[in-house]
Chain A
Amino acid sequence: MPFIEWRLKPQTGDNTLDTMESIKQTFFQECEDLLQDLESGLILMNDGEGDDETINSVFRAVHSIKGGAGAFELTDLVKFAHIFENTLDEIRSDRLEATKEVLTVLLQSSDLLMDLVEAAREGGSCNEERSQKLMDTLAGFIGAPAETPTETAMPDFEPQSMDDMGFQPLVMDFGFDGDGDDQQAAGFSIHFTPTAKMYAHGNETARLLATLASLGDMKTTCEHADLPDFDDLEPEGSYLSWDIELTTENEEEDVRENFEFVEDDCELIITPLGGISLPELPVLEDLEIEPTPVAIEPETLEVKAPEPEVKKTETKKNTETKTAKPNTGAPATIRINLERVDRLINLVGELVINQAMLTECVVDAGLSQDPSVSSGLDEFKQLTRDIQESVMAIRAQPVQPLFQRMSRIVRKAASATEKSVKLVLEGEFTEVDKTIVEKLADPLTHMIRNAVDHGIESPEKRVENGKPEEGIVTLSAAHRSGKIIIEVSDDGAGVNRERVKQIAIDKNLIQEDANLSDSDIDNLLFMPGFSTVETISTLSGRGVGMDVVKRAIQSIGGRVVISSTPGKGSTFTISLPLTLAILDGMLVTTAGQTLVVPLTSIVETLIPSPEDIHPMGSNSVINIRGTFVPLVDVGHELGFTQEPTDTNNCVVLSIMTDDGVQSAVLVDTIQDQRQVVIKSLETNYGHVPCIAAATILGDGRIALILDVDHLIEQAGQRTPSPELPQIAAE
């Protein structure tokens, strides 16, 4: 998980504090990753799928958290991580078997560690009793008292003495002068060989040497052994090289800077004078070149005589390391402030609008037929789309961390209800817009708690019903036809419909004689004020019901539906837009209004013949290739007009709703198909039924984006004929 490294500035006074603070922030960021590694590793082990590397990475995670915590004197964290780490070490070295019992405690410890990190970050504290209890249990496993590590905080400075370990530091002699501040001959030995190119580019050695001389005292020798006979002399060739001994207080960079503009056109070897040569030495030895200390005497350059090429390259490489990218080999990842990405997304939104406006201007100016203009516009459109998709990809992140958090919720819920539940994750690498991921956390938590609390039966009951004792809650994510589908399902008892209906009647949510289909009853769970638990349980009944979940999901442009089979379990399906910023839409006109229909919900568009449309109650049905599907007149349904749309002159959009119901909507005409920028109505105005959001069109007008599913649902509720889709064609 490497990311752009902040380079630390030289320390002066307050800066140190800032730097430590910034490292501390890095620590907490790193903890997030580590805790995730820890948890996923432990879950793997718990599932019996762990190997040596799994326990190693689990150990490393706790070890690193402890290490970092120690540096910032987060004593609670260090204390707990210490015993946790020791226990893991015992397992790692096969002194302790990772039984189910041990793993349960380890998972609890991982949860606590997470809380402790959180507490340290927020500056709060954690339940000490819980911490102590777990520490005692862990200590019990490894047969040691839960003692505090002796050096939790940074001990006062004392010279490191490893004598008691029988260790004496190995002294290295690099030929450095012992007393650091004592200056030896400070300066550099420079070997400079220009190529013909350098001269061709208009540079002169004389000028370079003159500016170099300004850095200090300089002794220059010109090497002219390569100079050919006059007859063979190429007037534009380069035959000379220079050896320079520069005594200066300046840095190597300053010397190098002098040659900045000719760097690529010369060979430049800079070695500190009277300085060190150790790293170079082994290389030279390796090449069986006399290991003459490079810089001590000016004559060193003779070394190059036998094998000049080899030595030069090696030395050059050494000088290169300084500027070499330090992160070699590691996949480059960066952490970016989210605000910057958001700003980029907003700009892309503006670009999309601008592109639409430009297109409109071109059409208005009568230029749309001009092939160069239209192909230019097409290209612009494609580029805008590419940019948009690339920017969206920056924000996309796998749902894995979110899903993993849920396994913690399951563990907590299971232990609170004394049930045995396993969470199975599927498609956790599905990428979802970051904003959506964040907003999913609360509803998912609630649904998962519900699944454990209400869905899964008690172990006894499960055994009675011939099910395995351990219940399974499955959390899955997938991309499906331009949407993200997240499912929470359990293999529990399913919705107890009789009870649900009775409660709804008791709470006056429905009439006693209401004739409801099974799915209608299941959907009662989403009604405000519905809660099947009479006494609020500590777990899922926190005063919020599934209606809150539904609203939360709607607020991010999603929908949630339930399907349930008695005795087999229930599935909640959440469908979400890929992004909250831009959508592909079809621009339609109805009753003089321009509306946007999300492209993802449109299956096909067709021009119907009037005889295919049959009025039915206050609505109509349309015969699409032998199947009757409900037809919703958009303009009429939304109240734009009292008159029904003229069926002789209209377009029908065949729609597939998220719950898989086929339906159709009627509009006057189709204008265009394009990307539109989503502008929330809720934040700017307020919620409007059947309207998902608004957008700005190319001409600056505002168009509403239709919530097709809601529209169809609303029309369906008005027509008391839920069996409608099942009517077979004659």
Chain B
Amino acid sequence: MSIKDQIKIMVVDDMATSRGLVINGLEEIGIKNITYETTGDAAFEVLSKAPVHLVISDMNMPGMSGLDLLKSMRENASTKRTGFILLTGSDDPSLVQRGIKLGMNNFIKKPFSVPQLKSCMERVIGKI
């Protein structure tokens, strides 16, 4: 059993396009267990009952933003150790700073290639 087979990843993004691109990338990398949610609130609800290893969440979402989700996750015992990669359209340093403070593991800027996504994840979970 390799990481690919074991790791559970949740993709959180309200936009089907962006969600599709991430899921597609993850599947291309060979990740087997991928779930997704379309809002931060729904994601948090599911995560607090059934944590995953890694969350890849978009920043810009209606309602709970990506960082809001991260904050909630870090404040919750069952999700505080879950990996978090922020998907962002901008590389605004203040956004990254806020992410660091909240304990984000890494971030990836859109648009990204599959190798970029892989490398971004590897920096968090080790070689895939």
**Taking beta carbons and an 8 Å cutoff, which residues of A are in contact with B?**
2-3, 5-6, 8-11, 16, 19-20, 22-23, 26-27, 29-30, 56-57, 59-60, 63-64, 66-68, 70-71, 151, 153-155, 157-160, 162, 165-167, 169-174, 176-184, 186, 251, 272-276, 278-283, 285-286, 317-318, 320-322, 324, 326-330
Jot down 9 A-B pairs with beta carbons below 8 A, ordered by A: A8-B23, A160-B108, A171-B105, A174-B7, A279-B78, A280-B51, A326-B36, A327-B38, A327-B42
Tell me, in angstroms, the Cα distance from A62 to B93 when the chains sit together: 21
- Which residues of the other chain, B, contact A159 by a CB distance below 8 angstroms? 119
B79 close to chain A: CB less than 8 A: yes
Tell me, in angstroms, the Cα distance from A178 to B91 when the chains sit together: 30
**Contacts A3-B16, A169-B123, A321-B46; is A275 near B6 (CB within 8 Å)?**
yes
Shortest distance between the CB of B33 and any CB in chain A (Å): 7
Contact yes or no, B27 A11, CB < 8 A: yes
Contact yes or no, A5 B39, CB < 8 A: no
Give the nearest-CB partner of B4 in chain A: A180
Contact yes or no, B82 A68, CB < 8 A: no
**Contacts A180-B3, A279-B82, A283-B51; is A154 near B111 (CB within 8 Å)?**
yes
**Contacts A23-B17, A154-B113; is A282 near B123 (CB within 8 Å)?**
no
Shortest distance between the CB of B49 and any CB in chain A (Å): 6
Contact yes or no, B45 A328, CB < 8 A: yes
The majority secondary structure among interface residues of chain A is loop
Tell me, in angstroms, the Cα distance from A273 to B20 when the chains sit together: 31
Contact yes or no, A174 B125, CB < 8 A: yes
Contact yes or no, A282 B78, CB < 8 A: yes
**Contacts A180-B3, A276-B6; is A322 near B33 (CB within 8 Å)?**
yes
- Which residues of the other chain, B, contact A165 by a CB distance below 8 angstroms? 91, 93, 96
Number of A-B contacts (CB under 8 A): 209
Q: 9 nearest interchain CB pairs?
A: A279-B51, A70-B111, A321-B50, A169-B123, A169-B106, A329-B42, A27-B17, A180-B2, A170-B105
Tell me, in angstroms, the Cα distance from A186 to B111 when the chains sit together: 36
- Which residues of the other chain, A, contact B96 by a CB distance below 8 angstroms? 162, 165, 167
Tell me, in angstroms, the Cα distance from A165 to B86 when the chains sit together: 15
Shortest distance between the CB of A122 and any CB in chain B (Å): 18
Give the nearest-CB partner of B16 in chain A: A26
Contact yes or no, B38 A2, CB < 8 A: yes
- Which residues of the other chain, B, contact A328 by a CB distance below 8 angstroms? 37, 42, 45-46
Tell which of A71, A172, A173, A280 touches B17, judged by Cβ atoms closer than 8 Å.
Answer: A71
Shortest distance between the CB of B12 and any CB in chain A (Å): 11
**B 53-66 binary contact with A (CB < 8 Å = 1; else 0):** 11000001110000
Give the nearest-CB partner of B120 in chain A: A160
- Which residues of the other chain, B, contact A30 by a CB distance below 8 angstroms? 15-17
Contact yes or no, A184 B1, CB < 8 A: yes
Contact yes or no, B15 A67, CB < 8 A: yes
- Which residues of the other chain, B, contact A60 by a CB distance below 8 angstroms? 60-62
Contact yes or no, B8 A19, CB < 8 A: no
- Which residues of the other chain, B, contact A56 by a CB distance below 8 angstroms? 62
Tell me, in angstroms, the Cα distance from A136 to B33 when the chains sit together: 47
The majority secondary structure among interface residues of chain B is mixed
Contact yes or no, B108 A66, CB < 8 A: no
Tell me, in angstroms, the Cα distance from A160 to B118 when the chains sit together: 10
Give the nearest-CB partner of A7 in chain B: B23
Tell which of B53, B97, B104, B119 touches A279, judged by Cβ atoms closer than 8 Å.
Answer: B53
Contact yes or no, A169 B105, CB < 8 A: yes
B71 close to chain A: CB less than 8 A: no
Tell me, in angstroms, the Cα distance from A658 to B110 when the chains sit together: 55
**B 87-121 binary contact with A (CB < 8 Å = 1; else 0):** 00101010011001001111111111101100110
Contact yes or no, B24 A8, CB < 8 A: yes
Q: Which of B15-46 contact A (CB under 8 A)?
A: 15-21, 23-24, 27-28, 33, 35-39, 41-42, 45-46
- Which residues of the other chain, B, contact A318 by a CB distance below 8 angstroms? 50-51
**Contacts A165-B96, A318-B50, A326-B37; is A71 near B110 (CB within 8 Å)?**
yes
- Which residues of the other chain, B, contact A10 by a CB distance below 8 angstroms? 27
Contact yes or no, B77 A170, CB < 8 A: no
Tell me, in angstroms, the Cα distance from A324 to B36 when the chains sit together: 11
Contact yes or no, A64 B18, CB < 8 A: yes
- Which residues of the other chain, A, contact B23 by a CB distance below 8 angstroms? 8
Shortest distance between the CB of A329 and any CB in chain B (Å): 4
Give the nearest-CB partner of A70 in chain B: B111
Contact yes or no, B2 A183, CB < 8 A: yes
Contact yes or no, B21 A330, CB < 8 A: no
**Contacts A186-B1, A329-B45; is A279 near B27 (CB within 8 Å)?**
no
Tell which of A68, A157, A320, A326 touches B113, judged by Cβ atoms closer than 8 Å.
Answer: A157
Tell me, in angstroms, the Cα distance from A511 to B2 when the chains sit together: 90
Tell me, in angstroms, the Cα distance from A497 to B79 when the chains sit together: 74
Contact yes or no, A67 B125, CB < 8 A: no
Tell me, in angstroms, the Cα distance from A324 to B49 when the chains sit together: 12
- Which residues of the other chain, B, contact A276 by a CB distance below 8 angstroms? 6-7, 53
Contact yes or no, A330 B42, CB < 8 A: yes
Contact yes or no, A317 B103, CB < 8 A: no
Give the nearest-CB partner of B84 in chain A: A170
- Which residues of the other chain, B, contact A64 by a CB distance below 8 angstroms? 15, 17-18, 60
Tell me, in angstroms, the Cα distance from A282 to B83 when the chains sit together: 13
Contact yes or no, B42 A176, CB < 8 A: no
Shortest distance between the CB of A552 and any CB in chain B (Å): 34
**Contacts A63-B60, A160-B123, A326-B36; is A278 near B53 (CB within 8 Å)?**
yes
Tell which of B1, B45, B89 touches A183, judged by Cβ atoms closer than 8 Å.
Answer: B1
Contact yes or no, B119 A160, CB < 8 A: yes
Shortest distance between the CB of A549 and any CB in chain B (Å): 37
Give the nearest-CB partner of A34 in chain B: B15
Pick from B15, B52, B96, B97 the residue with the most CB of A within 10 Å: B15
Tell me, in angstroms, the Cα distance from A257 to B77 when the chains sit together: 33
Contact yes or no, B108 A19, CB < 8 A: no
Shortest distance between the CB of A214 and any CB in chain B (Å): 19
**Contacts A167-B96, A172-B124; is A275 near B1 (CB within 8 Å)?**
yes
Shortest distance between the CB of A310 and any CB in chain B (Å): 14
Contact yes or no, A162 B20, CB < 8 A: no
Tell me, in angstroms, the Cα distance from A27 to B36 when the chains sit together: 18
Tell me, in angstroms, the Cα distance from A326 to B78 when the chains sit together: 19
- Which residues of the other chain, B, contact A180 by a CB distance below 8 angstroms? 2-4, 127-128
- Which residues of the other chain, A, contact B53 by a CB distance below 8 angstroms? 172, 174, 276, 278-279
Tell which of B16, B41, B106, B125 touches A176, judged by Cβ atoms closer than 8 Å.
Answer: B125
- Which residues of the other chain, A, contact B126 by a CB distance below 8 angstroms? 171, 173, 176, 178
Contact yes or no, B111 A167, CB < 8 A: no
Shortest distance between the CB of A431 and any CB in chain B (Å): 24
Contact yes or no, B27 A329, CB < 8 A: no
Tell which of A157, A273, A285 touches B116, judged by Cβ atoms closer than 8 Å.
Answer: A157
Shortest distance between the CB of A362 and any CB in chain B (Å): 51
